[in-house]
Amino acid sequence: MSRDKIAAYADAVASIVEAEGQAERTADELFRVARAFESNDQLRTTLSDGTIPAERRQQVVEQLLGGRAQATTVQVVSFLVATSRVRDLPAIVDAVVQRVASGRDQHVAEVRSAIALTSEQEQRLAAALAKATGKTVDLKVVVDPSVLGGLVATVGDEVIDGTVRSRLDQLKTLI
Amino acid sequence: MRWITLLAAEDPTVTHHWLLPETPEIIYGGLASLVVVSALVKFAGPSIKKGFKARTERIQKEIDDAASAKARAEDDARGIRSALGDVASERSRMLQEADRQAEALLAEGRARIAAEVADLEAKAEADIAAARGRSADELRSQIAALASRATPIVVEATLTEATKKDLVESFIASVGAAR
């Protein structure tokens, strides 16, 4: 899908999220769904399989997210599945998250960690990133075992990589 | 024999001497001989002198020719001796030249062989170095491949939850201290 279409969908979804209230929480849930969609091949294949009727795929979404996420989150994902735009779910959601954060004069800080962070760690990390980048950040933490250990934070174009994976990659390059 | 018989038959007492003729016979005979000799001197003398002169000249010519031939022969002999000397000199020169060329060829051959040996040695050393480099590279590559595969496994196995939390704390602290 072209950038213009992604932007159009993102504008629409962001407007819905803002209109429904609790935009931050919804954006956070959408962010997690997007990351799960990226990392889970089976989920991605199932939701984007055109041979499966859209209603059946929407049922899968409701079964997965129902009771765990806000109704708005479920509806947005279900809407993208129904319109066969689910392949662009990560890009649309990232744009939505950016818009929601911008509306609050914040910058999205995507953090990947091998382990889940405590809320206290997230607060300290957000404060540290704000200090390091000079921006107010909206922290989005993704648990990603592939980083092995440590964290990698992406704020706009800035990437602060302290993962064991990157160290191993550097070591591999040196070898 | 008959003449001897006649002599023996003559009587020595008839003449004044048994060996000498009679005096008038001697006078007449002497005069006749004188006339004959004078006639010979007058008429045959010039031709005899001429003959002697011609013979003398011929002999002198022959002597001169012989001398000339001898001189030519001596010249030829000198030429031959000189030629023999030249031949010996040329032979010596040719032998020296042959020796010099042989030495030059030998030196050139030695130099060429030495250069070829040096080239072969250099090539062999380069081949050995290249083979050593390839072996080292292959070994390094294999070690790197093994290390690349083993390191994440070892690291992951040694990364405990506590270590991961420490890494998170370390990251937060380092980012916070960045500015």
> What are B94-139's pLDDT values in tens digits?
999 999 999 999 999 999 999 999 999 999 999 999 998 898 888 8
A115 touches B165 (CB < 8 A)? yes
Residue B140: per-residue pLDDT = 84
> A160 - beta bridge partners?
A153
> A108 - beta bridge partners?
A138
Amino acid found at A30:
L
A112 touches A163 (CB < 8 A)? yes
Q: Containing domain of residue B9, as a range?
A: 2-176
A84 touches A114 (CB < 8 A)? no
Amino acid found at B140:
R
Contacts of B137 in chain A (CB under 8 A): none
Q: CB B168 to CB A151 under 8 A?
A: yes
Chain A CB within 8 Å of residue B163 CB: yes
d(CA A16, CA B42): 187
Chain B CB within 8 Å of residue A168 CB: yes
Question: In this structure, what DSSP letter does residue B21 have?
Answer: -
Q: CB B170 to CB A149 under 8 A?
A: no
**Angle between the N-to-C axes of helices A23-39 and A3-20, in degrees from 0 to 180, rounded to the nearest 10:** 140
Q: CB B167 to CB A150 under 8 A?
A: yes
| Closest in B163, B176, B179 to A149, CB measured | B163
> B148 - beta bridge partners?
none
In this prediction, the answer to ipTM > 0.85 reads no
Q: CB B178 to CB A164 under 8 A?
A: no
* Per-residue model confidence as pLDDT tens digits over B22-57: 888 889 999 999 999 999 889 988 998 999 999 999
Contacts of B178 in chain A (CB under 8 A): 128, 131-132
Residue B8 has pLDDT above 60, yes or no: no
* Per-residue model confidence as pLDDT tens digits over A100-145: 998 888 899 999 999 999 999 999 999 999 998 888 899 999 888 8
Contacts of B169 in chain A (CB under 8 A): 121
Three state DSSP letters for chain A: CCHHHHHHHHHHHHHHHHHHCCHHHHHHHHHHHHHHHHHCHHHHHHHCCCCCCHHHHHHHHHHHHECCECHHHHHHHHHHHHCCCHHHHHHHHHHHHHHHHHHCCCEEEEEEECCCCCHHHHHHHHHHHHHHHCCCEEEEEEECHHHCCCEEEEECCEEEECCHHHHHHHHHHHC
Q: How many domains does chain B have?
A: 1
How far is the first Cα of chain B from the last one, in angstroms, to the nearest whole number? 182
Residue B4: per-residue pLDDT = 57
Best A112, A137, A171, A173 member to test B by mutation, with max B CBs in 10 Å, is: A171
Amino acid found at A31:
F
Tokens read off for B86 = 């030249």
Contacts of A114 in chain B (CB under 8 A): 159, 164, 167
What's the pTM value of the predicted model, to 2 decimals? 0.56
Q: CB B175 to CB A175 under 8 A?
A: no
| Closest in B159, B172, B179 to A121, CB measured | B172
Best A120, A139, A148 member to test B by mutation, with max B CBs in 10 Å, is: A148
Q: CB A131 to CB B152 under 8 A?
A: no
Chain B CB within 8 Å of residue A127 CB: yes
d(CA A105, CA B152): 40
Residue A91: per-residue pLDDT = 93
